Structure 1
Amino acid sequence: MIDLESVKKTLTIHQKIGQLFMPAAFINDTEDEILRLEKLIKTHNIGSLCFFHSRASAATNYEGKKKVVYNKNSFETLRKLIERYQSVSKIPLLIAIDAEWGLAMRIENTPQYPYAITLGAIQNANDLLFEVGANIAKDCKAAGIHWNLAPVVDINNNPDNPVIGYRSFGEDREQVSQKAIALIKGMESENILTSIKHFPGHGDTDTDSHLGLPVIGKSKEELVENELYPFQQIINKGVDSVMAGHLSVPGLTTKDSRPSSINKDIITDLLRNEMGFTGVVISDALNMHAVSKNYPEKGMLEWLAFDAGNDVLCFTEHTAEGIESIFNNATEEQIDDSFQRIWELKEKAFRNSNSNTNVNSITHLELDFLSCSHLNRKLAEKSLTLLQGDKKGIATFRDTDYCTLTIKRFSEGQDSHEILNGLETSKKEVANETHILLLLTPPNVKPTNHFGFLDQELDFINQLIATKKVVLYHFGNPLALRNIYTKDTVATVIAYQDFKEFQDVATEHFLGKLEAKGKIPVTL
């Protein structure tokens, strides 16, 4: 790694500012788009890249107008692109990605671990979360990634939250803190950088900051007691970076009405001066509509984000103008302070650079699918939660002449007509049954439109529960059960994920071969 002091002497102010920029890179870009990014890297001395699946992926295509194309070779494409972009950069690039539940969050055909809400159900087994973090980190290294922009430490205290929900460990501040620390330590054990997000806390909102600006109306005292608690606990333990979310939090600012991500009261005064964070602050994606729509002047948003205290400007869409705006407005001390922090992060990332680059990625993935399956089995056993009823009730039910009914979308392309036709068939199949083993998988993991259920489906499920003996196994976000009359079931068991390992564990539980040891991490 290049010595920091010698680089400081050779880089111009413009080049130092370029090190603070993190444009988006897309795994499934065209050659023309790749060449444009290469030119940007070379021209402006870019310091880092954040990878996304494609320009049509959920993280960038907010309105969902572009179709996401499946590419089974995305992992290899990613690895080769990273090598290509590194080869054109004078100074090694920091490569970042959102891998909250593994590379599968962005890359198909890679190992996937459970969502945070599932890990939140696990009791007294943070060693398993450490193992999850370590495994995810190994996959990042195999691709050439240094920086996992995870974990989420937002507290899941609003069941209608359209964007956090399942990405949070739960509603208990202590559990969120401890589980996040375990995951961080696991990633650190494999020399992968981490970031806690979305400061000062995105949990208690009902607006998606990709689309609009969420407002949190709590007082500072309330926020310190709850939302800010995990951030403070983790900062005290040590963490590489904090991601600033796009939130309106009037209780934390006295003179500045700007969103938290571009608010000096919140980033500099609160996060740095009051909470004592001395590491890198990275903005949430600056293309998100919570902020981007309000600052149409190219370069203005980048300057505001930097001036507020962000060291890394993520998903900048106006890099050249942003560099000029910072050059024209910032003090040299501001620039040097941020440059110093990001450079120290680079030194840490590349300290063990061989482990990040000399990995047989194909062999690694083949082995890690096996490791992932083995670990997911243990996580399934520890998270399985008996929400309603008891094992005696399930055993008695099991001895009856019960009928098994599965409600699940087996194809993403199903329209409402096909779904309702299937529902009519299900009604006929169970019409004369008295005992129903109901295997339920919500269509969506997010709460929009009742987690994807049609009203007729919910009516049918609740009618079954009201008129028959039902044992329900739920394979999805437990918050979807707010739409179901679970208190009237013989038993309701939450499996959280629809992975094979979780299905197998649910089957063994129904057969009386294992106990449900988890605890639901949210209130229904």
Structure 2
Amino acid sequence: MIRRFLFVSLLLLGFLTILYYVSSYQQDLQANSLDGYLEFQAKEIVNKMSPEELSGQVIHVSIPGKTLDQTAEKEIEEILPGGIILFGINLGTKEEISNLNLELQKKSMEFSKLPLLISVDQEGGRVLRVRDGVTQFPGAMALGQTKNSDYAYKVGFVTSYQLRKLGLNFVFAPDLDINNNPDNPVINTRSMGSTPEMVSIAGIGYEKGARIGGAIPTIKHFPGHGDTNVDSHLGLPKIDKTLEELEKMELIPFQESIQQGAEVVMSAHIVYPKLDPDFPATLSSKILKGVLREKMGFKGVIITDAMEMDAIDKHYKDKDPGVLAILAGADILLMTSWGKTTRDMKNQILTAYKNGIFQKGERDFLKEAVYRQILLKLKHGIVYEFSSKKSESKEKLSDLEIKEIDFFQNQIAQREKNFSEIFSPNLNTEISRASIVSFPSLFDPSSVKTEETIFSVRGKEFETALEEKNIPNVNYSKIPLLVKQNKFKRIVAVTFSQLELDLVAKLAKRHSNLEVVALHYGSPFLKLNTLPNLKILFSFSPTLESKKALLYSVLERKSTIPVVDLILKGENEKTASQQP
């Protein structure tokens, strides 16, 4: 009897196990069949495209205004671009942005039968293109200083969600450059930090949140733009590091983000002579294919930084840089102009294609680039969004078409649910306050008493905040007279520039018996004086909430403010780690 019971039990267990694996297999099959169907669609679309369509799809262009004017319409009709990048000149109210994007998509569907990737630089902090309809979060460096990946995830998700609601489906963030060179003129506070760990914590959190938010995120600028003192908009930077050195620093955040599922990488216009002595990363097969694709295993979309930047335009213009970039492994050529410049680029690609430059054996590198971009549009529901399938009855659709529709409808519903759970009116305030740090040592705000403090601030946000609390705002020139009254223990001043920081440092030297606190919302990568009675509080961001967080730190905050964790310029060029 016992043996029979054991036999039946084992048989039942085996049957349940089989059911489990069959069920798991069916789920995997369903997932794979949808992926396979999207891949099939991408291949089918690419194989039907003419050389003119293929050559246009790899180019993303810009337009001159806030409406679909004749110039913008002509750009879409003649280039047949895969995407459009929008800047401040294109972005007005949220209604204007939504209307513009809808008109752009309609025009693209009319001429190319494909929707656009519509992109924007929306990093937060000092890089905010969209001012209406999107929360103005602090920038990357502020996020990094919180050392909280959950904050980064929420900022990435909310920003991405709100952009997609406006019709912006492609965001050029997060920046995974490690700002380990305090003289860097272009990355600066756009970086999450000065170490691989800090950049990875915030950067990966942001990318993962943004990826499910609706606007496709882009990790940039591969293989790293942090350790340079040249702006690639204005020159051709060089980073003289070996691959082994890059693997111990610059490549770490990129590798970790790729392993976590990042789908788009932006290349850097920087020469790495020990990897490729002849070409910057954007034009280098050794870097984009050899390092990024083969060594690091990246299978997604590679987009170039703007091809008109001086690093490319002044040094490689006569070498067909667009052709070189595609051959190197890039899938999208980002252009920030329209008219002759974009037409010249398309002619460059089209001529090369007709001459067989992109064909090697059975491979067609131009088609491969277009395939990856179209698959990205399919996977993120951008093709579905403008598909006629949505309005057709299910009786006319195949099982896979129905599955595709159900998948994206569920995805949209889940996105809405996630937003309602993640976003709150206080989220920006909470993160902005958590990002405030002190230099060169801890700052205890509990010792600040307003009646013992001279406040000298400039700027509407700061002035209004003091007025609301009935705190006098003193003109800078009158501070010495008040100090003579011997009833004050502290001076609090707002700074943004090197000049303002220097003036505050002079105050600290002149009044060594007083504590002087600078509320600094500009770049921290300035010459910082290390006086015993001087403290600098950093927000790394000029947003309204960041400015309010600085004042909050001296007026209401009770907990100690931590020390900044960055490589900074100190007095006599000391770094933060060398400060007392």
TM-score (norm 1): 0.80
1:434-467 Cα offsets, whole Å, 9 max, x none, are: 6442232314xxxxxx4xx3xxx45432211112
Q: Please, which runs of 5 or more residues in structure 2 have no aligned partner? A: 1-37, 336-340, 391-408, 410-415, 463-473, 569-580
User: In structure 2, how many angstroms separate the alpha carbons of the residues matched to 1:270 and 1:390?
Assistant: 42
Matching residue of 2:146: 122
Q: State the one-letter code of the partner of 1:338.
A: A
The reply to whether residue 208 of structure 1 matches residue 239 of structure 2 is: no
The answer on 1:430 being equivalent to 2:453 is no
Structure 2 distance, partners of 1:271, 1:375, is 36
Preserved contact between residue 103 and residue 112 of structure 1 (Cα < 8 Å)? no
252, 258, 277: which one pairs with 2:279?
258
Name the residue aligned to 1:16. 54
C-alpha displacement of 1:484: 3.5
2: CA distance, partners of 1:293 / 1:244: 18
Distance 2:372 2:441 in 1: 53
1:232 and 2:282 aligned: no
- Rounded Cα–Cα distance in structure 1 between residues aligned with 2:116 and 2:441: 54
- Whichever residue aligns with residue 53 of structure 1, its letter is G
Which range is displaced more, 23-32 or 464-473?
23-32
Residue 485 (structure 1) aligned with residue 529 (structure 2): yes
Looking at structure 1, the residues matched to 453 and 126 of structure 2 have their Cα atoms a distance apart, in angstroms, of 40
Contact conserved, 2:151 with 2:431, CA < 8 A, in 1?
yes
Report the Cα offset of residue 487 of structure 1.
3.5
Please give the secondary structure, in 2, of the residue aligned with 1:210. Answer: coil
Residue number in structure 2 paired with 1:510: 554
Does residue 387 of the first structure (1) align with residue 430 of the second (2)?
no
Aligned partner of 2:163 among 140, 145, 152: 140
Deviations 1:136-180 (A, max 9, x none): 011211111221121100001111111101000001101211211
The yes-or-no answer on 1:306 pairing with 2:321 is no
Alpha-carbon shift at residue 259 of structure 1 (Å): 1.3
CA deviation profile, 1:307-359 (whole Å, cap 9, x unmatched): 1110111117333313323312211521222122112111112268559999x
Distance (whole Å) between structure 1 residues aligned to residue 130 and residue 450 of structure 2 = 44
The correspondence for 1:177, drawn from 200, 225, 233, is: 200
In structure 2, do the counterparts of structure 1 residues 466 and 83 end up closer, same or farther at CA, with 3 Å as the change threshold?
same
CA-based RMSD of the aligned residues comes to 3.3
Further displaced range: 85-94 or 24-33: 24-33
Matched AA of 2:324: L
Q: Please say if residues 490 and 515 of structure 2, whose CA atoms lie closer than 8 Å, have aligned partners that are also in contact.
A: yes
Structure 1 or 2: more helix by fraction = 2
Q: What secondary structure is seen at the aligned counterpart in 2 of 1:114?
A: coil
Kept after mapping to 1: 8 A contact 2:440/2:564: no
Question: What secondary structure does 2:553 align onto?
Answer: helix
Task: Give the partner amino acid of 1:376.
Answer: N
TM superposition shift of 1:288: 0.7
Q: Does the residue aligned with 1:189 lie in a helix, a strand or coil? A: helix
From 438, 455, 476, give the equivalent of 1:404: 455
Cα gap change, 1:475/1:314 in structure 2, threshold over 3 Å: closer, same or farther?
A: same
- Cα distance in 1 for residues equivalent to 2:215 and 2:365: 27
Question: Secondary structure of the equivalent of 2:298?
Answer: coil
What is aligned with 1:245? 268
Cα drift, residue 289 of structure 1? 0.9
1:374 aligns with 2:396: no
Q: How big is the shift at 1:202?
A: 0.3
User: What SS does structure 2 have at the residue aligned with 1:276?
Assistant: coil
Residue 461 of structure 1, aligned match among 492, 495, 504: 504
| Map of 1:446 onto structure 2 | none
Q: Secondary structure at the match of 1:337?
A: helix
Partner of 2:114: 91
Say if 1:404 and 1:523 are closer, same or farther in 2 by CA, change over 3 A: same
Change over 3 Å in CA distance of 1:251–1:22 after alignment to 2: same
> Is the 1:211–1:289 contact (alpha carbons within 8 Å) kept by the matching residues of 2?
yes
Aligned residue in 2 for 1:447:
none
1:325 aligns with 2:333: no
**Whole-angstrom distance in 1 between the partners of 2:493 and 2:450:** 18
Residues 15 and 439 (structure 1 numbering): CA distance in 2 closer, same or farther, change over 3 Å? same
Offset at residue 226 of structure 1 (A): 0.4
Q: State how far apart, in whole Å, the 2-side matches of 1:517 and 1:152 are.
A: 26
Contact 1:154 1:168 in 2 (8 A): yes
> SS at 2:269's partner residue?
coil
Paired AA for residue 11 in structure 1 = M
- Over alpha carbons, which structure has the higher Rg? 2
Q: What is residue 419 of structure 1 aligned with on the other side?
A: none
Cα distance in structure 1, aligned partners of 2:490 and 2:313: 50
Q: Which amino acid is 1:342 matched to?
A: Q
- Contact 1:213–1:246 (CA under 8 A) maintained in structure 2: yes
Quick check: 97-106 or 313-322, which moved more?
Answer: 97-106
Partner AA of 1:514 in structure 2: K
Count of aligned positions: 468
What residue number does 2:74 align with?
36
- How many angstroms apart in 1 are the aligned matches of 2:443 and 2:225? 37
Q: Secondary structure at the match of 1:137?
A: helix
Consecutive unaligned residues of structure 1, counting only runs of 5 or more, are 56-70, 359-363, 412-423, 444-449
Q: Are the counterparts in 1 of residues 153 and 205 from structure 2 also a CA contact under 8 Å?
A: yes
For 1:271, give the aligned amino acid. L
Work out the CA distance in 1 between the residues paired with 2:442 and 2:198.
Answer: 25
1:440 aligns with 2:471: no
> Hey, what's the Cα distance between the residues in 1 that align with 2:86 and 2:558?
41
Q: Name the aligned partner's letter for residue 454 of structure 2.
A: C
Task: Give the 3-state SS of the residue equivalent to 2:218 in structure 1.
Answer: strand
**Change in CA separation of 1:473 and 1:3 when aligned onto 2, cut-off 3 Å:** same
Provide the C-alpha distance between the structure 1 equivalents of 2:49 and 2:502, rounded to a whole number of angstroms: 66
Q: Distance in 1 between matches of 2:216 and 2:72?
A: 25
- Distance in 2 (CA, whole Å) between partners of 1:354 and 1:489 is 59
Q: Secondary structure at the match of 1:95?
A: strand
Q: Supply the distance in 1 between the matched residues of 2:234 and 2:51 (Cα, whole angstroms).
A: 35
Give the distance between the partners of 1:53 and 1:478, measured in 2 at CA: 22
C-alpha distance in 1, partners of 2:552/2:96? 39
Query: For 1:159, which of 174, 182, 185 is the aligned residue?
Result: 182
1:382–1:516 Cα contact (<8 Å) kept: no
Residues 102-113 of structure 1: matches in 2 within 5 Å? 105-110=128-133, 111-113=135-137
